[in-house]
Amino acid sequence: MNRSIFLLLCSLFLFSTLLRAESLKLASDVWPPFTNHMGKTRTALNLVSEALIRGGTPSKVFVLEEFTAVTEGILDKTYDGSAALWRTPERDGLLLFSEPYLENRLVLVGRKGTDVSAKSLVDLKEGSKVGLVEDYAYGEDVTKASGPEFI
């Protein structure tokens, strides 16, 4: 991880904590391997928790089953933020984002022998089927795409 990103993340959380003089309450939904319940693989939550510990900022991490509860909780100030949240134009208007500290890349997966060489949705053949996870912020490339069938 880039040292300046690490310091920026710690500074934002530290500043927020000093203003309130209490622990940061961070919420995330279950999104393995980045976020998950304690005792399971949760790379993003562990990384942010460790950064905050090293920066002397107390925090509590809440893992919620429903994604909508995360965003609603941040907006109604039940939670101070999230350690792992995809950035979208809509969320940009409501929330303050740090620079990325992890990156998730989506890749095309198919049965053995299937052509998975498409570099973009435009490259997919008409009638191709693409499975999507509900409530993920895929962006306009997916939401406005024509050609593949999204299921």
Task: List, for residues 78-137, the tens digit of each pLDDT value.
Answer: 999 999 998 888 889 989 999 998 887 778 888 899 888 988 877 887 778 888 877 778
Say which residue, 86 or 12, is predicted with more confidence: 86
Confidence of residue 12 (pLDDT cuts 50, 70, 90): low
Q: Measuring CA to CA, how many Å separate 18 from each of 27, 39, 49, 82, 93? A: 19, 30, 17, 18, 24
Cβ atoms of residues 48 and 6 within 8 Å: no
Query: H helices of 102-144, where?
Result: 140-143
CA distance 47 to 124: 36
pLDDT of residue 63: 93
Quick one: tokens of 129? 């089927």
Percent of the chain with pLDDT over 90: 37
Q: What is the mean pLDDT of residues 47-70?
A: 91
Is the predicted pLDDT of residue 39 greater than 50, yes or no?
yes
Query: H helices of the chain, where?
Result: 3-20, 43-54, 67-75, 89-92, 140-143
Cβ atoms of residues 84 and 28 within 8 Å: yes
CA distance 103 to 89: 18
pLDDT of residue 18: 46
Average pLDDT, the chain: 83
